[in-house]
Structure 1
């Protein structure tokens, strides 16, 4: 079904078949509109993230940037593992939770914070064995800041899922904008802390972002959601233990294949190559965030209106593909120019990685669509199988190609693995995409 303009939607809702058609059009418009808002948030975050790392590249030494970026990657990995994938659980179950919303969110926060704190402390204690390049995190004050930043980042990611499930994508944009702007200001102010200023800028900006957002969430948005939803529309289904465990295992596969890459490059190729890799990967990964955001919007709308699941999925596939082709063309053509913002060496060593990683985002559309459909339909074994398969293949190929191609090998590995997964999933699409 093709979407129509906003003017047609504003003429009013007819009764009978015309009214049903108008409601269906509005539903299709909503999945795209909310996806666009989430994508705008990611684009702003990526753009301001590029500004942040450009400022950091000119304010800190290359070795310091490489170590700090790897520390930030470790922080994101631990937060992703520690939040128990509650972000996707919130996206899937808050749309219909009604009066249970506050209790559901509070329980998710408690589980995420406690688990992440334990993991962060354990990581700091085990650094000499697991990542000797991050020994600077063993200083007591720096270790405390790292644990604080990791727990805060887990909440930061989780609250995005809550806002998305509540159909508040505009606030996701604002929250990420505040976080990015504060972080840029702090990385300049804290430049006198040459070894740890980058890490502290993340820790303090996370505290600001989660404080402001949760005042609004618990003081305004969640109470209004509870009052506005009639009891007969409340979804009585709950996130079961089997659902949470399966979704968590799938999320761990994705985290292990993405966030751990800078740490792998740091340990195998050194701090300078880790810096070149990290910033090129950061730019390319913005396209993967587009896919993820459109998939999140698809889950929310499918939870609100299961009857339109096929139309929503097909629209998201077509729409995201068109946007991605434009983004890939720009990144492939302008890769050296974009990376030269960070310095000439970043352009020299990272341009081919950026091109290959950007191309790999195109087949990833099919992977994300299949994963989103599995979450909506609770196809748990297939969900885990998809992400475990594609992430294992990407990681194995990255290890194999790093010694041969350098950091460019990671881009080649991701392109090959995503293309292979997409081909298989499209061939067997009846397993995850229901018929019309």
Structure 2
């Protein structure tokens, strides 16, 4: 693999700089989403919040699955791509975006209630168009961040995500009161479309500059690309299911009012989980730059991850009740649920690191097996476990089976991964 030019490597910061930049981009997106739902809880009836979360979960589910794990693939391949970087980056984007939009169209036709939420009082076709645009944009949104990190511009990704978060929250504050659930839909779709349009232009110039400064470079063969992407794309779909299908199932099975409470508690776990995933994803580009230091880089990443995220979990559990209490009388019942979910995320950190290590080592099948089993068991449990009657049972007890399933699965996998690591 040809080394990246020295100027690019210096600009990227490498190591901890890449990790922090990826973590901050994830944190801006996740925290903005959580703040958005907090604002929505103030502005809208509880059942309207639950309806809006169905659209957001569906959009992120489709856009995340259609990425095909090309974001991590680009982080692995761009350091050695040199002058072929433009072809690699924009070929990937032109694959992801139409695929995301097409899957969004099919999803809206099969599950019309999601498009109806987006349409509000307007025609169904308008809601379907918003779903397609949202899915197509979200499919490449995170990939832009991975590209910027891989070419040595990680802090440009941070600024991009920060401004996106501010715009999204501001739009929700303006539109939420008058348009209810449709206002939340528009607060996501409008910034996604604008930021992707502008970001693609910016990406064209910075990738061309990166390519011009590098050597001729090489690209992996199609066979090696497929060998990495095929299993890891399936595994990424498992993670996307974990983040987005669980709150959808909560709304479908518990109703929109309890589903809104569960969604906000679940979003707190997603904030920490995705930030940890982004933090450890930088191990892929670090290992690609310095493969001879793979073991050392893995140990350093694990240590830093625990130092950063364990205190965040404790803080999240402690702040659950006072934050939920501010939202209204229907939300504090989710405080014990949130605290229990933080325990589950503590176990999942072990799994997240092992996934990043396998991904950085190019162990696509090992990565896929672990990710699918972990995420799939949680989804299956949430889908099939019997629930108490929401009409006659305390909301916390209605949500309890989902929480127990998540914590038990993560604890079991953490024990399994830890035992194998010790061996």
Same fold (TM over 0.5): yes
Shift of the alpha carbon at 1:343? 2.4
Alignment pair present for 1:406 and 2:392: no
The corresponding residue for 2:190 is: 204
Among residues 406, 412, 417, which one is paired with 1:425 in the alignment? 417
* Contact 2:229–2:364 (8 Å) recurs in 1: no
* Contact 2:235–2:371 (8 Å) recurs in 1: yes
The corresponding residue for 2:372 is: 388
Please report the RMSD computed on the Cα atoms of aligned residues, expressed in angstroms. 2.2
Alignment pair present for 1:338 and 2:323: yes
Shift of the alpha carbon at 1:108? 0.9
Alignment pair present for 1:415 and 2:401: no
* Contact 1:92–1:375 (8 Å) recurs in 2: no
Alignment of 1:74-113 (within 5 A): 74-113=58-97
* Contact 2:25–2:161 (8 Å) recurs in 1: yes
The corresponding residue for 1:364 is: 348
Alignment pair present for 1:153 and 2:138: yes
Shift of the alpha carbon at 1:251? 0.8
* Contact 2:358–2:367 (8 Å) recurs in 1: yes
Alignment of 1:14-413 (within 5 A): 30-128=14-112, 132=113, 135-137=116-118, 139-191=124-176, 192-219=178-205, 221-231=206-216, 234-238=217-221, 240-348=225-333, 350-399=334-383, 403=387, 405-413=397-405
| Cα distance in structure 2, aligned partners of 1:46 and 1:251 | 18
| Cα distance in structure 2, aligned partners of 1:241 and 1:133 | 33
Unaligned runs of 5+ in 2: 1-9, 389-396
Q: TM-score, normalised by structure 1?
A: 0.85
Unaligned runs of 5+ in 1: 1-25, 432-436
Higher RCO (CA 8 Å, separation ≥ 6 residues): 2
| Cα distance in structure 1, aligned partners of 2:323 and 2:179 | 28
- Flag the 1:195–1:257 CA change in 2: closer, same or farther, 3 A: closer
Q: Secondary structure at the match of 1:30?
A: coil
Moved more, 84-93 or 271-280: 84-93
| Cα distance in structure 2, aligned partners of 1:61 and 1:167 | 45
| Cα distance in structure 2, aligned partners of 1:199 and 1:67 | 10
Shift of the alpha carbon at 1:195? 4.0
* Contact 2:84–2:211 (8 Å) recurs in 1: yes
Shift of the alpha carbon at 1:40? 2.3
Shift of the alpha carbon at 1:101? 1.1
